[in-house]
Structures are given as structure tokens and as C-alpha cells.
Amino acid sequence: MKNFDFHNPYPTTRIPVFARNAVSTSHPLAAQAGLRILWKGGNAVDAAIAAAAAMMICEPVSNGLGSDAFAILWDGKQLQGINGSGPAPAAWTPQYFEKKYGADAKTPPKRGIDSVSIPGAVGMWMALSQRYGKLPFGDLIAPAIEIAERGYLVPIVVQQKWEAATPELKDQPGFARSFLPWGRAPKVGEMFQFPAAARALRLIAETKGEAYYKGEIAEALARFSKENGGAHTVQDFANYRPEWVTPVAKNYRGYTVHEIPPNGQGIAALMALGILDKFDLASHKIDGADSQHLQIEAMKLAFADTYRYVAEPSSMELTPAQMLDDGYLASRARLIDMKRAQDFKAGNPVKGGTIYLTAADENGMMISFIQSNYMGFGSGCVEPTFGISLQNRGHGFSTQPGPNQVAPGKRPFHTIIPAFLTKDGAPVMSFGVMGGNMQPQGHMQTLVRMLDYHQSPQAACDAPRWRFNAGLEINVEKQMPQATVQELIGRGHRMEVINDNYQDFGAGQFIWRMGDPKKEGYVVASDSRRDGLAAGF
């Protein structure tokens, strides 16, 4: 058992939850959906699928039935990873985008049908359920169907983001019909019902997901794409398969941190931790300038390499092992100057508005699960018959030569990353932090607080965060001590204090195993930056 200091020095609306069976999500109804499944005799994987399906209805600003997803789970014997990100349609080539958008277009568009790669989340639910589920697949989708049909009262944070996205997306195909039921975004506490999505969920439940990729839903999506100038075909959907993967890992302070391998950015968190491992962080004040400066610089170094090298594995110039090499990370650590901020470039390792949730059960199964439409509502396109809100992950491709250049059947660079912590080969914590490039930064910052400074998961979750953007630009939450911010500015960091914590600093969910789940259970945390809930029994 970790010797946490359960005193929380930060203002928060949350307290840690102790339980033998637990679910933590960013919406209470989704956490309750997962608990319903655990009460029925389901396991952690069953609960995660139920919660994920509910999240698609309860937090449409972040994910939907057209999302991608990833997961890492402890199955009772070993750690497994699954990549549920979808590939480019067969018609997507650099020439396809050049012809439509001109030679100056460096990426596929940010919104619209040509930003949509093939959605993978539903396929990942299917794969998880087939391999690990205890209850019938239809039982797992039932709570989400009920929420979609009966409706729910829109909570505060979700409503804020819904309203903020409306001006940009209101004219995208299907958006207003699905998400502006009164010609505007719902207000806080208004009832939102989503009968089209309920129709889709029923078909998904009845066919164990087959209708999404090889049936009526796939046909509707291909037809919707064609009607709106897209290139997606029924065959593109039929060809999709999620991929079981071995997580990449790095040791830190006696623990091992695990992330999904590329095409995701999880390796950035591992690289940053590998760099920080060369420093005695605990000798510096937890919220002081020295500790924060070291973390910022390590993260910048990691991102420099991640943005240069990470792509679909078959297109990468080097391997994750080369990027995580201890000697290489030590050389990168030596570049850090404690007195000044730097704008780092990529090294050479070669020698010669996402939802996150987690669930755990008393038999020891734990799952770290993340799914996303990417930029808020994603592409803004919503297939109206089935309420399929489509992601815009295709925007993560480049049309220019390089490892992330778009190609048929290729997966784009991905930001969503679940994480997992083990010690001596045994499970310790399933966790994640949502929010674009904030995710590896959130992984690193919260782990440092727990492993170097012994803060509890809830305190680490509530603590003030910073976010690196580019160059020397850093956003920082208003809760960060003013003296620390001023000292960091003095070292050359260009700090902007931000009041909107949700927008810039992500939100996390954490389940830490305290020992034998049947006897000591778990401690569970949920980020106060969203409408979430940590729940258990």
C-alpha cells in the first residue's frame, strides 16, 4: 500500500472514494451505469464499456458514437493494450486533399466530412467484450439506451462547452438537428434527449456491434459521407479492426509506467519521466519554481521528439525503444538549464474536448479507458438517422512528406492515451488525464505528485497544473502560487494565467489499488474540473 498523505491542500469539490469495486468518469450518470453493471455481476471491462456508451450520450461535447478509443487493462494475470483508432479511407491520398483544398493545405481540414477517419470506438468495445466480458454485450449498452431515450439534465461544464462550440459547428451537416434541439445549445438543467442515438445503440446491442461496421449503420454512414462530399465507403467500415498491442513502459521511482505505443503520444509522458528520473525532484518544494521548471523543460524535450518522430509504427524512422533509451534520455536531461527556459528541438535517438474513465473490480481486474471525438464535437458532422457524431482525427494527418503523411488505410497521429502503473509486475493504478496535448503533461505532473511527493490521487488531481503549448509559451492555472509563476517568468517562461481550467488543463480519473481488492480495495479520484464522479461499493 502506498503511504499517501491524504491531507489535500488544494480547494476542491471532491473527496477520495474507497471501495472494492469502482468506476470513475467525468459524468455521474456514466459512473452509475458502470456501477449498475458491476452490481449485476459484470467485471471491470463490462463496467467500462457501459460507462463509455453512456458517456457518448452524457458528454457529447467530448465524444460520440463516431469516436476513436484506446485502453490498457490488467486482466488478472498480465497487462494488455488495445488500439481502437481508425484508419484513413481508401480514397485518402495527398492528391485527394490537394485537388479539393489546394496545394497550400498542409493537413486535412479541421472540421467537416474530410476530417473524419474511420471511427474505432465501437469496434474496440466489441473486441473487449468478446475477449474479457462476463455479461451479454446488450446488457452493457442498456443504460446508455435508457439515458438517450429518457434524456438527462445537462450539467454545468458540458453546457459551457456545448454553447461555446455552437457558433463554429452549427452549419455542419446534421449538427443543428442533433445538438441544437431548440435552435440553440441546451441550458444548464434542461432535458436533452437523443432518440437517434438510442436507435443506433439498440442496433449495436442487438448485433453485438456488427451493424456499425457491416450493416445498416455502416450503410447510413457511407451514404451520409457521399451526400456531403466525402469518400468513406461501406468497405472502409467493413475493413476496420482494432489492434491488440503491448504497452510501452518506463521505470520511474520504483514503479513502471505503461502507455499505448505509437501512433499515440503516450511515449511523450514516458520520455519526460525518464528525463526527470535523473533529478532529485523531492528535494524541491512541490509547488515551487524549481520543481515546476524541471517538469516543464522535461516535457518540452519529450514533445520535441514526439512531434518529430511519432506516427503509425510502420512509418516511423526509429523505434520506441530508441526514443526511451536511458543513455539518450540522460543526454537530453543534461540540456536542462535550471536558470532559464529553452525552446528545444528534436534530438537524434539513433546510435550509428476527450473523455477518460477507469473501472476496477474486487477480483483485481482494472481498466484504463479513453475515447474521443478530438476537438470538442469532432468534425461537427452528425449522421442524423442514428445520431453518429463523427470525430475529426483525420486532421491529425499531414499532406506533406514525412512519417505522418496521409495514406489509404493509415492511422493518424493520436493524442488520446490511457495509462497504467505497475510495481514489480503487479497492478497499482489505472489512470488518465484528458485534453489534447495536455494528456502526457497531465500524466507526468500527477505521477510526480504521487510518486515523488506522496500526494494522494485526489490531491494530485486537484493540484494546479501548467500546460506547454509551443516554444516558450506556457499556460498555467490561476491556483498556481503567484510567487512560483513570477519566478518562472523570470527564467524566461512566457506564462499566461488561465481561468478556464477545463479548456486548457484536462481532467483526470484515477483508481489506485490499496492491496488485495477484496480486503483493502481501491482509492478512487475524479477531477473537479469536470462534472464527474468517483463511485464504488
End-to-end CA distance of the chain: 20
372 φ, ψ (degrees, to nearest 5): -160, 150
Closest CA to 523 of 11, 22, 12: 22
Place of cell 474513465: 357
What is the widest separation between alpha-carbon atoms in the chain? 63
From 25, 107, 207, 354, active-site residue:
354
Which H or E element spans position 414?
A: none
β-bridge pairing 494-498 and 508-513: unpaired
Residue pair 338/291 in contact by the 8 Å Cβ criterion: no
| Grid cell at residue 52 | 463509455
Closest CA to 16 of 500, 438, 455, 495: 455
Residue pair 181/166 in contact by the 8 Å Cβ criterion: no
The answer to whether 354 is a known catalytic residue is yes
| Grid cell at residue 500 | 478556464
Strand-by-strand arrangement of the 79-84 sheet:
243-245, 79-84, 68-74, 366-372, 355-360, 22-25, 533-536
Q: Any alpha helices (H) in 310-423, and if so which ranges?
A: 320-323, 326-333
What does each C-alpha distance from 384 to 7, 115, 367 come to in angstroms?
49, 18, 32
- Amino acid at position 47, single letter: A
Which H or E element spans position 150?
A: helix 137-150
Please tell me the distance from the alpha carbon of residue 415 to that of residue 141, in angstroms, as a whole number.
26
What are the DSSP E strand ranges found in 276-434?
A: 355-360, 366-372, 382-383, 388-389, 419-423, 426-433
Q: Any alpha helices (H) in 277-325, and if so which ranges?
A: 289-309, 320-323
Place of cell 442498456: 142
508 φ, ψ (degrees, to nearest 5): -120, 160
Please tell me the distance from the alpha carbon of residue 75 to that of residue 363, in angstroms, as a whole number.
10
Catalytic sites, residue numbers: 354
